[in-house]
Structure 1
Amino acid sequence: MSDVGTLERMFGDPWDPANPLGHAAAVAADEREEMFGEGERLLDRFVLNAEFVPVEYGGRLTGLDRLVRMMRPVWRRDPCLGLGYGASSFIASVNVWTAGSDEQRRAFARMMLANRKIASVYHELAHGNDFARAEFAATPGPPGTLLLNGRKEVVTNAKRADSLVVFARTSPEEGSRSHSQLFVHKEDLPPGRMTDLPRFRSMGMRGVQLGGLLFEDCPAPADAVLGAPGRGMETALRSFQLTRTALPSMMVGVLDTGLRTAIRFTSGRALYGRTAADIPQVRATLAEAFADLLVCDAFGTVAARAVHLLPGETSVYASLVKYMVSKLLIEAMDRLSLVLGAQFYIREGEHAVFQKLLRDLAVIGFGHAARVACLATVLPQVPQLARRSWPAAAEPPADLFRPDAELPPLPFDALTAAASGRESLSTGPGALLDEHGADPDVRRLAEVFARELAALRDEALALRPRDLGVAATPEALAVPARLAAVLAASACLGVWRHAGDPFLKDPAWVVAALTRLTARIGTGDGRLPAPLAERLLSETLTRYADGRAFDLAGGPIPG
């Protein structure tokens, strides 16, 4: 079975300028505003698309956390590959697995396993993330057809895709049952009725083909609808739970390369008779970036496993992972850019990959849902969580925190649009306090987050109905933002409590992780004490020297 190690070895040493799959080649493709051709050909040979197809349909998709791990090497090498080759088809796929018929699923699987491309066609510039107002229409046409009319814009692989998953208005009525999703094959559309719009140029992801499509009375088969007509919004809300969980966690690979580039630069940069890596502020920045990466991986991994084990709670975790992980990754890269100084924006030379990663990473701040939209998704659920779960929720299963534990199949049919007041991950700090003999520093920080959850409960119960809608104040949105920090801390505590790896069993990393998260709830500045920073930096430099990843798994990587 194909695994992460195989893919890493196929990519080879990224720092070798002669490697056609290395950083220099990826940066060169970016300068040409082209997709990284050699990278795409490698992923064709690896049949990466099989990772998006469940085993029962001939693919390799068994667990969402495994998918994240498989995609990390791709994002580590080139985010344009991650989005333009991988994420575009993944985003489309989850709608088919969630709502499609067996025939539609089999057709999708055949295309994926043949290395074809399928685009997710959602976005309309006039309405942004407000899909309920989408105007693109699919109306009854001649018998057995729907007529497609309207524009879709900023669509990844709009021109290159062989098929499309299209979000369309199928009823003029207002409400949640006015839209559907369609699985449309371009070969079924008559010529001249669908026009490719010019590519949208972008600051980051310059190699990704962000195009648009114009449909004018374009007939499509009526049986292209995924699921029952009018259920498009419900399908989207369920499928977003997989994409909002998985995509930011995949992008931990971007910070991995960013941190690796910063270490490479500071180790070879002489200042005032010593290397830049000897400067205390630089050392603290590197250690804190490593701690933030571990927070992102712990929260993302636990949330991905929750899709399998706690599907009824996933609507809360998915949106808050998108909010918190994307924020931490972007801010960590911004701080590392200060370490590189003028090198961070230079587009040639050994360290040029950093400026590309920095620009590409900015995309995850919005993607198919901006961070504030993710908070707004969770906000209406917060009062019910405060009433039903936070006072007395049972602890989640231990396997939630054990990446090596087997998982049941992905329960696409068990995902729900809302959690109905169910949420158990936040029990982590309180559960730690109930244990005897816990490390005193871990216990002290667990108390901080337990108190924060109690404060959030009081604030959530005080929210008024008008605080929960589109006109929510920044103060109201701060409640789910702080909840995200509590959940991230809980994920870190759970991974630490159930760890087998010697480093992950060491209290140092979880103390560092929770210390960093105190800045997110206003109880600290997030800075690591010097001895703790040195302990984290020692692990970081050891992994760098040994050629190991900086994430929880710490597996071998080339270069």
Structure 2
Amino acid sequence: MTTAPTAAAPPARLHTLESALGDPFADDNPLGLRAALEADERGEMFEAGETALHAYGLGAEFVPTALGGRLDRLDHLVEIMRSVYRRDPCLGLGYGASSFIAGVNLWTAGNDEQCRRAAELLCSGRRVAVAYHELAHGNDMSGTEFTALSAPGGLLLNGRKEVITNVQRAEAVVVFARTAERPGSRSHSQLLVDKAQVPAGHMTYLPRFRTSGMRGVQLGGIEFRDCPLPADAVLGRPGQGLETALRSFQVTRTTLVSMFTGLVDTALRITVDHVKGRRLYGRTAADLGHVRAVLATAFSDLLTADCFATVATRALHLVPEQTSIHAQAVKLFVSKTLMDVMNQLSAVMGAHFYIREGASAAFQKLLRDIQPAGFGHAARAACQVSLLPQLPLLARRSWTGETGAPAELFRPGSGLPPFDFRRLAISAAGRENLSTSLTAGLAAMPDGSGPAYTALRAHGEHFARELLTLAEECTALSPAELSVGASSPTYDLTTRYVKVLVAAACFETWRHARGTDDTFLADPAWAAAALHRLRAPLGTPAPLLPDHLQQPLWEELLDRCARSQGLGLLPRPLAG
């Protein structure tokens, strides 16, 4: 068998950041979990952490290399941000991700001067906030009441935006506003508001919102009254604000939720340490079969989530015309999976999961901080509503085909072409070949033996049949069932489809690892475990892993924890 190329080494700056932040579990580390927890107790941003990230120059990671930054690969950005999230998710969101969201809109639609100004701010350690939502309208951006209407000399801003990260600390804000009174999608634009240029008396900050999770993140609001703004503040052409948002969401929904795997990595390590030290019935909790089964299953779910998010992130580079589908699916599946893993771990921790002192004190903070993964930036339900109307067209144009996705999609860490924000399409137009990769992969499945291999083939065949069943059911849907008022069984079709996408990502990642020197990914056990969990009927708890799949994952989990290696798809070396 021909040996495929090994994964490319991660960027050296990832090791630089890990080393600078140090071992998060060391009590004497001023940048560790204990110090982050103390800031959380005070409801403040972790100041020492922000100083360290400023010294590293994290803002430059959000700026494309063509504009003087370091953003060349989105998967590298995710890895770098995982290093932050595994220590303090508030730093991940409050120092970094909010500026990244704003930046993506600028790199997607901004002119040269707007991009240059934003790049200058971020590369110098300053911030750009983003103001999409209004509390009265939630995820319904078409209901936006904030206006930026034409006036002599330019535009006049009127209205308020709430729950904005870093609105007071940012030097500029990307604002989604109504720029025409008429109804329809062409009535909204995005604007770059440089706060230094806002005349006195026209802008007011609203009180900070206090939250149960992400306590340190500075969430506030802003109100404008007859605030003059030059007409060239608009990103792109007037009326294209919603289109810009739909393109940028493909990047942010895919990458932001993937960053949260760093949080779950830390929580899983805390739980492993806890059960190894906790004595029950004359032995450690780690010696109990059920405890091992739960932790091995949690590790499997983390790997599954990471695999799907990694494939979708690589798709942004390789097949950007399809990523309007992948982004919705990642938000739906990965966020729920990560939150479910945290709940599984809290059951193992018992009463220790909410104790705010001692060795496991950080767990309760992480359990609170994971919640925005499901609703932050865009709610899971909103993604489901967006995905549902596309199913019939996908069924007709894609699901009965046998063409698979490019092989490079399934080789984590390997080289990628440069990412071009402007290649993103609003709609996939019914074209998507990740799901059909499963059929193609089964036809090319290498020979093998053993219970894990046999299970993987059987599970793969199940999901290939499921895609054909979905094609029949979705083709027969009436237009009335494609709206917000669709029935629950119809909405379930989106969940079933997403499971096929995840199964295809895991199966193909395993298949393309065969013949490489990655012995873990080439072992069918992890992929068979992923598909085993995915096969649970909707509305029922997924079963724990059987012994023949559980044991290799348990051993891999213990080994990585002992070696301070990442618990994701690729075992990156970590500080500690």
**How high is the TM-score relative to the length of structure 2?**
0.95
Partner of 1:77: 87
Partner of 1:136: 146
Question: Structure 1 residues 494-503 or 90-99, which shifts more?
Answer: 494-503
Q: Distance in 1 between matches of 2:504 and 2:189?
A: 37
Cα shift readout 1:482-501 (whole Å, capped 9, x = no counterpart): 11111111111121111231
2:490 corresponds to 1:481: no
Q: Is the 8 A contact 2:67 2:116 kept in 1?
A: yes
Q: Distance in 1 between matches of 2:175 and 2:502?
A: 34
SS of aligned partner of 2:436: helix
Alignment of 1:379-418 (within 5 A): 379-418=388-427
Shift of 1:446: 0.4
2:133 corresponds to 1:123: yes
Alignment of 1:282-361 (within 5 A): 282-361=291-370
Cα shift readout 1:107-147 (whole Å, capped 9, x = no counterpart): 1111110000110111100000000110000012231x311
Describe the shift of the 1:118–1:532 C-alpha distance in structure 2 as closer, same or farther (beyond 3 A).
same
SS of aligned partner of 2:569: coil
Q: Is the 8 A contact 2:93 2:217 kept in 1?
A: yes
Q: Distance in 2 between matches of 1:97 and 1:377?
A: 24
SS of aligned partner of 2:45: coil
Shift of 1:522: 7.3
2:65 corresponds to 1:94: no
**Residue type at the aligned position of 1:537:** W
Alignment of 1:110-509 (within 5 A): 110-143=120-153, 145-435=154-444, 437-438=447-448, 439-499=453-513, 500=516, 501-509=518-526
Q: Distance in 2 between matches of 1:103 and 1:62?
A: 20
Q: Is the 8 A contact 1:425 1:487 kept in 2?
A: yes
**Residue type at the aligned position of 1:244:** R
Cα shift readout 1:21-73 (whole Å, capped 9, x = no counterpart): 01110110001000011111111111111111111111111111111111110
Cα shift readout 1:266-296 (whole Å, capped 9, x = no counterpart): 1111111111111111111110111011111
Shift of 1:203: 1.2
Cα shift readout 1:504-533 (whole Å, capped 9, x = no counterpart): 101111111111111265799432102321
**Residue type at the aligned position of 1:463:** L
SS of aligned partner of 2:213: coil
Q: Distance in 2 between matches of 1:348 and 1:151?
A: 40
| Count of residue pairs the alignment pairs up | 558
Give the share of equivalent positions with the same residue, in percent: 56
Structure 1, unaligned runs of 5 or more: none
SS of aligned partner of 1:372: helix
Cα shift readout 1:407-460 (whole Å, capped 9, x = no counterpart): 222122221111101000002321232125253221111011111111111111
Q: Distance in 2 between matches of 1:179 and 1:361?
A: 32
Q: Is the 8 A contact 1:168 1:181 kept in 2?
A: yes
Q: Is the 8 A contact 1:80 1:208 kept in 2?
A: yes
Shift of 1:16: 1.5
Partner of 2:545: 528
**Residue type at the aligned position of 1:384:** L
SS of aligned partner of 1:174: coil
**Residue type at the aligned position of 1:423:** E
SS of aligned partner of 2:209: coil
Shift of 1:393: 4.7
Q: Is the 8 A contact 1:241 1:314 kept in 2?
A: yes
Q: Distance in 1 between matches of 2:72 and 2:528?
A: 32
Q: Distance in 1 between matches of 2:52 and 2:570?
A: 24
SS of aligned partner of 2:363: helix
SS of aligned partner of 1:3: helix
**Residue type at the aligned position of 1:450:** A
Cα shift readout 1:144-183 (whole Å, capped 9, x = no counterpart): x311100100111111111000000000111100000001
Shift of 1:105: 0.8
Q: Distance in 2 between matches of 1:505 and 1:79?
A: 32
**Residue type at the aligned position of 1:508:** A
Q: Distance in 1 between matches of 2:324 and 2:285?
A: 44
2:79 corresponds to 1:65: no
Partner of 2:558: 541
Q: Is the 8 A contact 1:26 1:36 kept in 2?
A: yes
Q: Distance in 2 between matches of 1:287 and 1:215?
A: 52
Q: Distance in 1 between matches of 2:282 and 2:151?
A: 76
Question: Structure 1 residues 524-533 or 15-24, which shifts more?
Answer: 524-533
2:39 corresponds to 1:22: no
Partner of 2:7: none
Q: Distance in 2 between matches of 1:545 and 1:216?
A: 58
Q: Distance in 2 between matches of 1:200 and 1:352?
A: 24
Q: Is the 8 A contact 1:517 1:526 kept in 2?
A: no
**Residue type at the aligned position of 1:72:** R
SS of aligned partner of 2:193: strand
Q: Distance in 2 between matches of 1:524 and 1:207?
A: 34
Shift of 1:481: 1.1
Describe the shift of the 1:79–1:474 C-alpha distance in structure 2 as closer, same or farther (beyond 3 A).
same
**Residue type at the aligned position of 1:553:** L
Shift of 1:190: 0.9
SS of aligned partner of 2:20: helix
Structure 2, unaligned runs of 5 or more: 1-10
Q: Distance in 2 between matches of 1:116 and 1:523?
A: 47
Question: Structure 1 residues 5-14 or 257-266, which shifts more?
Answer: 5-14
2:42 corresponds to 1:32: yes
Q: Is the 8 A contact 2:438 2:508 kept in 1?
A: no
Q: Distance in 1 between matches of 2:86 and 2:496?
A: 29
Shift of 1:3: 2.2
SS of aligned partner of 1:421: coil
**How high is the TM-score relative to the length of structure 1?**
0.98
Please, what is the CA RMSD of the aligned residues?
1.3
Shift of 1:359: 0.4
